[in-house]
Amino acid sequence: MPGAVLLLELRLASNVADLNAVTGLIRKDVGLTVELLRLAFGEPRRRRASSWSVAELAVDLGLEKLRAMAAGTTLLACQAPGKAAFQACQAFWRRARQTAQIAEELAGGQSATIQETAYVAGLLCHVGMLPRLLGWPVSGIDSADPAEVGFHMTKAWNFPALLVEVIRGDGEACTSPQARSLLQLINTADRQASHGPMVTAAEVGDGTQSWS
C-alpha cells in the first residue's frame, strides 16, 4: 500500500531507525512482508533458517537493504483506471491482517517465535491470489487454484519450506506434523476472520510447540 511504503521510507531516513516502528509497518502490509522475505531468503546463507520473524529479518538485512527494498517497491495505483483493483487489494490486505492477528492470538501462550510464525503464515496464507488481483501473468503453472499458484510462487522465492506448505493449504501434502499443525491453526484463523465466534487456542489442537 502506498501509505505503508511512504511511512517506511520516512522511518528509514534516519541513521538510527526505530526497529519497532519499522517492524510494525512491514508486518501490517502484505506486499512489504513478501518483499522482506523475498530479499532475506534470496540470500543463500538464510535459506536453511527456520525463523522468519519480521524483526529478526529486518535487523539482519540492515538499514541500507531495507531502504533499497522500500525504494524499489512498486506502489499500488489508487487512482483511475486502477482504483477498482486498488480497492480489491485494500480488502485483501485487511482480511490478511485480520487472519494474521487471529492466528497470533490462537498461538497465545506459546513462545514469541511461534506466535510470530502464526502471524506471518496467517498474513500470507492466500498470497497466491495476488496474480489475479494485480493482473500478473502466470506462466508454467497448470493449476488456476490460488493455493497452488501461491505454492509455486513462494517456492520459487525460496520461502521457508514450512511456510510454503501452509500456503499450499493441502494437509495431505504436508511433509511434517509441524506443517499440518500450523495449517490447521491458520485454517481456523481464516474461518474466524470471515465469520463466527472467537475460537480458543485449546480448540485448535495440539502440536503447536513443535513449529519452531
What does the pLDDT look like over 54-75, one tens digit per residue?
Answer: 999 999 899 999 999 999 988 8
User: 3-state class of 156 per DSSP?
Assistant: helix
Q: What are the boundaries of each domain within the chain?
A: 2-72, 88-196
Is the domain 88-196 a CATH 1.10.3210.10 member? yes
pLDDT for 211: 44
Candidate from 28-37, 171-180, 193-202 with smallest mean pLDDT: 193-202
Single pTM value for the model: 0.85
Q: Residue 72 corresponds to which cell in the numbers above?
A: 524499489
Cα separation, 212 vs 190, in Å, equals 21
Q: Who wins on pLDDT, 194 or 184?
A: 184
Q: Residue 207 corresponds to which cell in the numbers above?
A: 502440536
Determine whether 115 is exposed, middle or buried from the number of CB atoms within 10 Å of its CB (0-12, 13-18, 19+): buried
